[in-house]
Amino acid sequence: MTAFMLQSPLTDFANIIAGYFAEIWEFLIFIGRISAVIVVMVGAILWFTEVNMKRGKGLVFSGIVLAVVIQYFVMYPPLFTMG
pLDDT at position 79 is 76
Q: Confidence band (pLDDT; 50, 70, 90) for 5?
A: low
Residues 6+ apart with CB under 8 A from 51: 45
- Residue 13 domain-assigned? no
pLDDT at 82: 55
Higher pLDDT among residues 6 and 34, named by residue: 34
Give residue-wise pLDDT tens across range 7-63: 677 888 888 888 898 899 999 999 999 999 999 999 999 999 988 899 999 999 999
Nearest to 62 by CA among 83, 43, 82, 34: 43
53-75 vs 2-48: helix crossing angle, rounded to 10: 150
**In the chain, how many domains are there?**
1
Q: Provide the residue range defining the domain that includes 67.
A: 34-76
- Is 60 contained in some domain? yes
